[in-house]
Every structure is written in structure tokens, then in C-alpha cells.
Amino acid sequence: MSIRASLCKLRNVVTVEAPMSLEGGVTRALLEDPNATVHLRDVEGGEIVGNLWSTRENVTDCLGIARDELLGHMLTAMNEPVDTVDVDEPGFAHTVTENVDLTRLPIPKFYPEDGGRYITAGIVISEFRGRRNVSFHRMMVMDSRRLAVRLVPRHTFTLFREAQEAGEDLRVAICIGVCPSVLLAAATSVDYGQDELEIASALREACGQGPLEVGITATGLRVPADADYVLEGRITAETAAEGPFVDITGTYDHVRDQPVIVVDRMYNSEEPVFHAVLPGGLEHYLLMGLPKEPVMFRTVRQAVPRTHAVRLTEGGCCWLHGVVSITKNKEGDSKNAIMAAFTGHPSLKHVVVVDKDIDIFDDREVEWAIATRFQADRDLVVVPGAAGSSLDPSADTVTTKVGLDATKPSGGGLFDRARP
């Protein structure tokens, strides 16, 4: 589904017709109403959408499912990938040019200290010797054809190194404006060699939307057919300073020497809309956090069979704070749930375990459980010296993890909320 088609499915869309600049204006417009999807119709002649997947409801409305069905469907998709389907005339190939000028695309500069204009909703599809990877990478515009790309040492980096050792550049296609199934699949941490596009396809199937359709680019890469923009190019041996740039916590990340992508060809759909994810905004949180929840859920359920749900909370950037809902079979299950949650999401720093009667999507209910069911001397788990998230500015090389057991003690007491 193109961005324009997705917009039709969403409930809360604000359209801004007034002309706007790429530097500064976009961020202010997105911050004004973080829960509304913002469609900017004239950003120096281009169209931008932001806050597109900044609520769980937007994601699940677009996929045509209920809010609490997503986690289960994502688990299914990770376990049982589904083939993608090739189409002959993909939407992204409406216009193709080798006369690439990245500076003319509606790519915003989000904050004044940023190293440049940044692509933040670009998923990078790379392939080397039959192995494909799909993942998010932030990319800074250097000039008309070059981007500095942040490559954390994971799968794209591994493929890049293999290509380098063979004396080649790594072929990539950067896709902007793809359906939430592709975005969520690109943000999963599956094993090396597992194909994220097939996970996206499986997620669509699980949601009753049919398999993912893909088109084939000039260099033979398969990319989502409905992407608004596809930038085809190569990760090269050249490097450049990447950053500064704002990370998920809303604080600045370091400048690093990173590889340079050269873009050789650009495709766009008939009326493309450029998708921009605001760094440190709700959409950034959800796209990073939602794909971690199924893995956390699976790990906690191994320890506590009656695990009902897990959530990474927006207040903790959907990364550092989690809530787990269980029904205890025996005393101590809640402590095991805490330990399993830390295993399932190693970046997790604080976790609260609650009973089934607490709605974990309501932060006030979770706090109420802490207020009425938690005693620090018996219910607190503190793990100093653990490896945590590099994104937490308060952590040194190691972090202290804290679990709060806010479940009712077995054996009764006045722990239930009065209901009318």
C-alpha cells in the first residue's frame, strides 16, 4: 500500500497546505500534535508525511486487526515466513532516472545540530551471494548522490564486509514509504540469513491481507512494489563523518566514521509522499519497540506459562521500560517473569510485572498496581553490573536493571479494585 493509500485508512490525519521549509519547519509541525499523523503538502515543493505509525492503533488499523492481535501475528510471522510474490509493473517504478539528485528530494533536517538532512524511514535491502537482509539505517545526505550510512555491526554490516573481502561494493535498495508489515519486519532481530521480507509477507498473510508483492530493480533486488521511493546504489569502501544525530532517547548520538552509499538510480511512484520518522518521537519508539515485544513475550512465557501480554511503554521510549501481565501458578513466578523479560529484551532496564486485572496499555493502572501491591523490601529485584542499552545516557559501560513485582501476593488480602 502506498503512503497515500495508507493515509485513507487512518483516523487522525492533519493536512497542512501552507508552504514549509525542510530545515526546522517539519520537526515543529510533527511535535505540535504527536498523536496525529501530519501530511505536509508543500515542503519546498515536495510532500512529507510524519507521525504515520506513531500509535499502535494506526499500525493495527492499517493491517486490519485489533490492537492486541498484533503481538500474536508477529510471533506467527517470525516462526513461519511466507514467500513474496513478484509483480511485473510495481508502483515504485512509475518514474526511473539515473540523473539522481538527492538534494532535490523532500528530505528534512530535523534539529539544528544535526550533521545534515537525514533519511529516517528508509529500509535498506541488501544482497550478496544469495543472502538478503532488510533493516533500518539512518542516512545523512552528503551531496547529490552520496549518503553517509550508520551501520551497527549487524547483518547489513556483515554482508558489506563479505562484499568488501571479495573486492566488491554491496548492492542496496533504499525503500521509503513501505507498509507497516515491512517496517516492523525490518526492525526485528531475527537470525542472520532469515529473510525479513518473508516475515513481512507472513505478517500480511496473518492479518488477512495476502502476501507481500515485490518488484525487481535494475540490479536484480526485490523490493516492496508499493514503495513511494526506491534509491538503488552501493555501499562503498569510502567513509565519511556521520552525525551528529538525535537517537531514540531524544539525546544526541556521537559522530562516527561510517561507510558511504553512492546512489546510481532513483525510482518513484506516481504521486510519491516522503515518509519522515521524527528522531526521538513516538513513531521512532514504536517502530523500534513493537518488534521486540513478541520476542519478550515468548521468553517470559517459557518461564511463566500463563503470560498474557507484554508492552514496552512510550514513557520509556518503547525500549528501556516494559510491563508484563501474568497469572501466577505459584509464588515466585513473578520474579522469574522479571528475569525472563530481561533475557527477552537485553536493552530493557526497568520492568513491572502485574496481574491480569491490570490493563498494561494504561500507564495509570500500572502505576496503581505499584502503589497498592508493591513493597520494595520483598518485591524489588536489582541487578547491578548488567549489559544494557548503549542508548541510555545514564548508563556507563554497564547498567543496573530493576524489576518491580507489582502482583498481588498469593493468599488473598484487600488487593482487588472495587467494580460497580
Point out the residues that are catalytic.
247
Closest residue to Mn ion, based on beta-carbon distance: 155
The least distance separating Mn ion from the CB of residue 140, rounded to whole angstroms, comes to 22
DSSP 8-state code for residue 145: S
The least distance separating Mn ion from the CB of residue 132, rounded to whole angstroms, comes to 9
The least distance separating Mn ion from the CB of residue 320, rounded to whole angstroms, comes to 23
**310 close to 342: Cβ distance less than 8 angstroms:** no
**289 close to 319: Cβ distance less than 8 angstroms:** yes
What's the rounded Cα separation, in Å, for the pair 296 and 254?
29
**Strand 95-97, strand 321-326: pairing:** unpaired
Phi, psi of 270 (to 5 degrees): -60, -45
The least distance separating Mn ion from the CB of residue 182, rounded to whole angstroms, comes to 13
DSSP-based three-state secondary structure for 225: coil
The least distance separating Mn ion from the CB of residue 51, rounded to whole angstroms, comes to 27
If the CB atoms of residues 137 and 146 are measured against Mn ion, the closer one turns out to be 137
DSSP 8-state code for residue 408: P
Helix count and strand count (H, E) for the chain: 12, 23
| Count of CB atoms situated within 10 Å of the CB of 253 | 18
If the CB atoms of residues 54 and 133 are measured against Mn ion, the closer one turns out to be 133
| Count of CB atoms situated within 10 Å of the CB of 24 | 14
Phi, psi of 244 (to 5 degrees): -65, 155
3-state helix, strand, coil in the chain (%, to 5): 30, 30, 40
The least distance separating Mn ion from the CB of residue 308, rounded to whole angstroms, comes to 29
If the CB atoms of residues 3 and 187 are measured against Mn ion, the closer one turns out to be 187
Binding-site ranges for Mn ion (CB under 5 A): 133, 155
If the CB atoms of residues 31 and 152 are measured against Mn ion, the closer one turns out to be 152
If phi > 0 it is left, if psi is from -120 to 50 it is alpha, else beta; for residue 17 that is alpha
The least distance separating Mn ion from the CB of residue 413, rounded to whole angstroms, comes to 48
Residue burial 404-416, b: 16+ Cβ < 10 Å; e: rest: bbbbbeeeeeeee
**234 close to 169: Cβ distance less than 8 angstroms:** yes
List, in order, residues 6 or more apart from 316 with CB less than 8 Å away. 322, 349, 350
What's the rounded Cα separation, in Å, for the pair 276 and 273?
9
